[in-house]
Amino acid sequence: MPRWLDERDESFARQLALAPLDVASWLYAGAAWAHRAAAERGVTPPRRLAARVVSVGNLVVGGTAKTPLAAWLAVQLRRRGHKVALASRGYGRSGGEPVEVVSDGRFVLGTADSAGDEPLLLAAQAPGVPVLVGRDRGLAGLRAISAFGADLLVLDDGFQHHRLARDVDVVTFDGGLGLGNRRVLPRGPLREPLGALARADAIGVVDGPLPERDGRVIAWRAPRAYRFAARRAPSALRPLAGGAAQLPAELAGERVGLLAGIARPDAVRRTLAQLGAQVVAERLFRDHHRFAAGDLAGLAEEAPRWITTEKDAVKLVPAWAGRARIDVLAIELAVDAPDALLDWLETKLR
């Protein structure tokens, strides 16, 4: 992802060079508005399900922990007695069915190719919760209700999915990234203009605090939204090929390579540096990259040990690594004052 998306103070030369993208950004913002207006005010109103709907999404592209938070909410609400299902679009999926059951809550039935990487991650992080994918999350919700008796649907990446009515909209931000340069794609990192935050019922800041100016802007745009904080922390190192997990602290002093196909690999770099590892090689690919054996050729010649993410691991075949050692860095999400958040959420859902 281009670094200038997150730059808050740009030189005049940079602004001039990127001026053509300003026009594209205005067009993108207009299209986003038209898409929402068509869904909310068009001939066909947003679908209302017989189950409650909680959407977890973002305004800033990439790396805001929306998927781990969706999984966390699903698990916690299930523990409180709700019949929960998770629904995701399944970006990049090859499956042709309108709706696919990735997990029935007991067994993982889908693959990363057929369902997409994030639904597989949801299935791993939310055991006991059915996970379904479909471009039309309303259809996925109907299937969750009929097949699993769901009374609560949690949408992963649902803030811009306007065809399905929801009861609660949760929007997540990365504290370090904030609002970036506050411009809409492709000139900036925003998926919609800042005014979209008026729809947010809750704002979650992960690995905060936010930059002071960004915090003020968000508070002004979403003055009535419930606020909560969460933190990500490395929890384990798991061999891709299977075997006993290690503590992340054991990376201290290690020379490692980074293998990733995510939107913002800088976050993984920072985590590895904090653990005391030295990144000596990188194989980086675009977000949602579909790995092939050739992507891993020659790893052992570049670094003795490679680290990848949980999201990437679901798409990797251990045999592709050859002589290279690949470990998966597991990340745990911890929500501050979790009971207060869940109590507020259940009150909203009544």
Kindly report the CATH number assigned to the domain that includes residue 289: 3.40.50
Mean residue pLDDT across the chain: 94
Please identify, among 224, 250, 266, the residue that sits at the C-terminal boundary of a domain: 224
Do 217 and 246 lie in one domain? The reply is no
Residue type, 145: I
Within 10 angstroms of residue 83's Cβ, the number of other Cβ atoms is 18
Residue 8 lies in a domain: no
Residue 127 lies in a domain: yes
Q: CA–CA separation, 183 vs 27, rounded Å?
A: 12
DSSP characters for 9-51?
Answer: S--HHHHHHTHHHHHHHHHHHHHHHHHHHHHHHSSSPPB--SS
Do 322 and 264 lie in one domain? The reply is yes
Do 88 and 183 lie in one domain? The reply is yes
Per DSSP, 210 falls in state P
Residue 10 lies in a domain: no
Please say whether the beta carbons of 251 and 237 come within 8 A: yes
pLDDT tens across the length of the chain (350 residues): 666 566 676 766 767 777 778 888 889 889 888 888 887 777 678 999 999 999 999 999 988 999 999 999 999 999 999 999 999 999 888 888 999 999 999 999 999 999 999 999 999 999 999 999 999 999 999 999 999 999 999 999 999 999 999 999 999 999 999 999 999 999 999 999 999 999 999 999 999 999 999 999 999 999 999 999 999 999 999 999 999 999 999 999 999 999 999 999 999 999 999 999 999 999 999 999 999 999 999 999 999 999 999 999 999 999 999 999 999 999 999 999 999 999 999 999 99
Do 143 and 255 lie in one domain? The reply is no
Do 240 and 199 lie in one domain? The reply is no
pLDDT of residue 47: 94
Do 217 and 251 lie in one domain? The reply is no
Distance of CA 21 to the CA centre of its chain: 25
Do 215 and 308 lie in one domain? The reply is no
Which alpha helices (DSSP H) does the chain contain, by range?
12-17, 19-41, 66-79, 112-115, 117-125, 137-148, 212-221, 266-274, 299-302, 310-313, 338-349
Residue 163 lies in a domain: yes
Nearest to 183 by CA among 3, 1, 2, 8: 8
Instruction: Report residue 312 as tokens.
Output: 């990437």
Give 13: exposed, middle or buried? Use CB within 10 Å, 0-12, 13-18, 19+: exposed
Enter the pTM of the model.
0.94
Do 78 and 215 lie in one domain? The reply is yes
| Residue 257: its H or E element | strand 255-260
- Strand 168-174 vs strand 202-206: parallel, antiparallel, or unpaired? parallel
Do 77 and 180 lie in one domain? The reply is yes
Nearest to 137 by CA among 96, 169, 166, 172: 166
Residue 3 lies in a domain: no
Do 184 and 73 lie in one domain? The reply is yes
Q: CA–CA separation, 149 vs 161, rounded Å?
A: 23
Please say whether the beta carbons of 321 and 240 come within 8 A: yes
Do 157 and 60 lie in one domain? The reply is yes
Do 133 and 245 lie in one domain? The reply is no
Residue 237 lies in a domain: yes
Residues 200-222 have pLDDT tens digits of 999 999 999 999 999 999 999 99
Supply the range of the domain harboring residue 306.
Answer: 233-333
**How many domains does the chain divide into?**
2
Token pair 């992960």 is found at 206
Residue 39 lies in a domain: no
Residue 42 lies in a domain: no
